[in-house]
Amino acid sequence: MQTLDRRHFLKLAAALGATLAWGCAHVPLPSVGWRERRDLYPQGVASGDPDEHSVLIWTRRPYADGRKDATLLVEVADDPAFTRMIATATTRVLAQSDWTCRVLVGDLKPAHEYWYRFVDADGNGSRIGRTLTAPAHDDPRPSRFAFVSCQSLPEGAMNAYRKMIWEDEHAAPGERLGFVLHLGDFVYEVVQYPDQLKSPRYDRKITFPIKFPKGKTVAKNRFWAPDSLDDYRVLYHAYLQDPDLQDARARWPFVAMWDNHEFSWQGWQSIQQFPGTDGWVPAQTLKVAAMQAWFEYQPARVTAPSRSLETFGAPHVVDTLVKDFDDDGLGTEPNNLAAIDSLIGYRALRWGRHIDLIITDQRSYRSHDPGDRDEINPLFENDTLGFVPEELWAQVDAGRDYANGHPPAKLSFGDKSVANYRAGEAPQTMLGAKQKAWFIEQLRGAKATWKIWGNSLGTPDQRVDPQNLPATVGKYPEGAGYATIDLHDWGAMYHERAEIFDAVRDAGITGLAIVAGDRHSFWAGYAAKALPPAAFEPVGVTFVGGSISSVGTAEANEHNIKKDDPTRPLYLADAGGGPPQANINLLLRHGVRSALEYASSGDLQKAHAASNPELAPHLTFVDLGGHGYATVRVDAERMVTEFVCIPRPIERSPGEDGGPLRYRVRHEVPIWRAGERPQMRTTVVEGDAGLAV
């Protein structure tokens, strides 16, 4: 490769805070030797964010003898036995970076498999990692990846990774995964200590692998949460000692994006909120600490503030209450801005001819949730259903832009009304102005067959039809119409979601596919800005993957909804004498009448006959009881997404295959032309998807 290209990689390595290892045809075997000592590299190895000629590799080699730094040798080979070494380099691990390092390996072949390892000065070696480079931009071959999210280590096992590894090892070489897209909640920052666990948590066998060096109690002493950089680091120490997660990171390059729990449960920008705590908690120092820990443990093409090879270089910030916001809801307090900008996570990667992957950050720039305001509370006094009318929420969401700039003077629900506190305020935003402009420009400029939006939060509406409720179940105001059961993600971000989808339509963009997490459930369907009786005009397809291990809605319902609760048949079906079934799947996919019919008769055919066809034309599949992962295969003609669902991951599976399979469901989408609607065909390939179809 020409000198100019080497200079380019040197600059890139410096920008990413990485050492550069330069590939070549053959490198002599090092004299230091290598003997595997996994105990000295307790968090294993990893690679991330590959492109067609380079990939980042990572490890952690801690020392406890008082030194401040150490040197490691990096070895990259063309074979797992390391008989064909193609690159070596030295890199430093520093105490101030928690003994982690990042190495950018360059001058590699596209679509190629490599092996790597680290060796200390005494010949003590890490485990061997495997990684892959991206195909060249014009490579026409099919591409495959997996997407995952939400792995709570104290609450469950990571059997999904073991299943993924088993299936990949037994797949034909051309059908193996190229990378794993992790869409957030890689760690959970709220943990319970034994004295806080007053009763069993659902079906789970809670473990206590995390003890913060400092920490703080939150939510009226229900949880502990990080209160320092070392606290955030301890999370990664514990999670990355899980054998299945560590094996997955050693097998594939990961492409990662944070969600909320990498920083704070109900956090947004650099602000924390906790149940039972009045007001906002300024947390600029903790936002920076969370970003530093993420940078230290995720090999990703993001730029640290220091722009150094070895350290994060955290900006100095002071915890200061954020009081002033610009018109897009961004807190203008200087420490807030510095904390948010300490690490920019949104980015784009190309994978062959068929994938433009565009990743966005849903937490750092979002405006304050307009439903989290005292002004709206009087509308829902004595409400027992928890459904929010779509029309009401559209007024709250859009603010002054509702109805083309004609918001109502009052917000109403049934016979109650309050002044429209949003009438003079801007629409809420998830992405913020700067990131949104970048994202839309990336979509318009994408050249690959499929434009994959990697998004931590799901986009499908979580819609119900309570206007069809019988009085015996609950009273819903006449004329209130369709409702939503959740307000926190893109499913209720009507205005900004419509802005994005309109941009896709107006630009004639085809092949838009959204992959998301956070909901702890599997969803498949169409990306549309509105549902009947409004015009239903899909511009893409959308998928949400089940959680790796975190508790889902169906499990929570089983334990929280009492048998004498009149609303129980909407969410759970007790027919047949077995364990409760997730009737909420029917509620969301087919409607109130369908759910109540099945809860009463146990006859799925009758339940489907009672389906409301206007409710959910955007959904082809929904399972709020699913755990596991999803895989995607794309080529010039179609996209095939498979949901691989496993049983509730209470304990680690003893087998190499990750344990049994609940179901495998395939969603096939042919590429469509501008002006056409996408079409999805859903097939249960293995197992029983129950009420999800």
Q: How far apart are CA 23 and CA 31, in angstroms?
A: 19
Using DSSP, state whether 598 is helix, strand or coil. helix
Helix (H) or strand (E) holding 297, with range, is helix 284-297
Q: Is residue 351 part of a domain?
A: no
Is position 507 within any domain? yes
Contact by Cβ (8 Å): 449, 671? yes
166-196 pLDDT, tens digit per residue, is 999 999 999 999 999 999 999 999 999 999 9
Alpha-carbon distances, residue 234 vs 48, 399, 443 (angstroms)? 21, 42, 37
Interval 69-98: pLDDT, tens: 999 999 999 999 999 999 999 999 999 999
**Does residue 43 form part of some domain?**
yes
pTM for this structure?
0.97
CA 454 to the chain's CA centroid: 8
Evaluate whether residue 78 is within a structural domain: yes
Last residue of a domain, one of 104, 134, 164: 134
CATH of the domain at 76: 2.60.40.380
Cα-based distances in Å from 332 to 266, 392, 398, 534: 20, 29, 22, 37
User: Would you say residue 463 lies in a domain?
Assistant: yes
Beta-carbon contacts of residue 548 (< 8 Å; ≥ 6 apart):
148, 149, 150, 151, 156, 158, 160, 161, 627, 628, 629, 649
How would residue 309 be classed by pLDDT, with cut points 50, 70 and 90? low
* Number of other residues whose CB lies within 10 A of the CB of residue 640: 16
In this structure, is residue 243 part of a structural domain?
A: no
Which of 134, 165, 187 is a domain's end point?
A: 134
| Residue 211, in any domain of the structure | no
**What are the tens digits of pLDDT across the range 241-287?**
999 999 999 999 999 999 999 999 999 999 999 998 889 999 999 99
Where is average pLDDT lowest: 31-35, 227-231, 312-316, 339-343?
31-35
> For residues 61 and 71, what is the distance between their CA atoms, to the nearest angstrom?
10
**Number of structural domains, the chain?**
2
Rounded-to-integer distance, Cα 212 and Cα 232, Å: 8
CB 488 within 8 A of CB 388: no
Q: Please, which residues bridge with residue 666 across strands?
A: 642, 683
Q: Which domain holds residue 589?
A: 449-692
Q: What is the DSSP string of 617-630?
A: TTEEEEETT-EEEE
Residue at which a domain ends, from 109, 134, 159: 134
% the chain with pLDDT above 70? 96
Considering the chain, what is the average pLDDT of its residues?
95
Dist CA 41 CA 381 (whole Å): 55
Q: Which two tokens stand for residue 100?
A: 């982690």
Q: Measure the N-to-C terminal CA separation of the chain; round to a whole number of Å.
A: 53
- 54 belongs to a structural domain: yes
- C-alpha 334/C-alpha 80 separation (Å) is 50
Residue 400 to residue 495: CA distance in whole angstroms: 11
